[in-house]
Amino acid sequence: MNKVISKTNKFLVLLVGALMVTVFFVPLWYISLEAPQYPEGLSMYIWINKISGGTPYDLQNINLLNHYVGMHEILSSSIPELLYMPYILGYMIVGALVTFIFPRLFMIYLGVVNLILVALAGLVDFWRWEYNYGHNLNPDAPIIVPGMAYQPPLLGCKEMLNITACSLPYFGAIAMLIGLGILIYIIYYEKKLSKT
């Protein structure tokens, strides 16, 4: 496991680092809402360090809809994970650079474990965030439907009253998934190489 990886794979590790850098510049996740009162739809992007609307007014309109059913306002500043996620990503980028300089197979394993743990923790945390927003409703909301929760789907689409909510990975999450795939390929290739 401490073997030196091939020169080609060493540069693939650099590509993984570059993919991680792109996550700073593109959203990780995309959420869309379709409702009769908004026929053009509303959308929201979750970045590594903020939440933004698809248009300058989308997030404001989503928060307005949320207010009517008693959901909390969605603010980047109220989500602490967005403060430390850039540092976690930075750690992974530094890991890729260190692996490029000291190209050992155990570093590739470490990268795979890190990416999987970050992805799982992110998905669990995102689900928990959605659950809290959809279930911890203001009892004095203008619209109350007994027994109704407004938790958006973690992945896919879901009907909530007259609103269709869709939640899908976006370029940032796809870049991380490609990076994970490259690291798994390197392990497979190096193991195959050591058997020949």
- In this prediction the pTM is 0.89
For residue 146, give both structure tokens.
Answer: 């007994």
> Do 3 and 104 touch, CB atoms closer than 8 A?
yes
Query: Could you report the per-residue pLDDT of 55-82, keeping only the tens digit for each?
Result: 989 999 999 888 888 888 888 887 888 8
Helix 81-101 × helix 7-22 angle, to 10°: 160
Order of strands, edge to edge, in the sheet holding 51-53?
Answer: 51-53, 38-46, 29-35, 163-169, 156-160
- Give residue 118's pLDDT: 92
**Topology of domain 7-195, CATH:** Butyryl-CoA Dehydrogenase, subunit A; domain 3 (1.20.140)
- Give residue 120's pLDDT: 93
Query: Could you report the per-residue pLDDT of 79-128, keeping only the tens digit for each?
Result: 888 889 999 999 999 999 999 999 999 999 999 999 999 999 989 988 99
Query: Could you report the per-residue pLDDT of 144-195, keeping only the tens digit for each?
Result: 888 788 888 899 999 887 889 999 999 999 999 999 999 999 999 998 887 7
For residue 151, give both structure tokens.
Answer: 């938790």
- Give residue 133's pLDDT: 85
Give the 3-state secondary structure of residue 165: strand
CA-atom Rg of the chain in angstroms? 20
Q: Which residue has the tokens 């530094």?
A: 94
> Do 64 and 42 touch, CB atoms closer than 8 A?
no
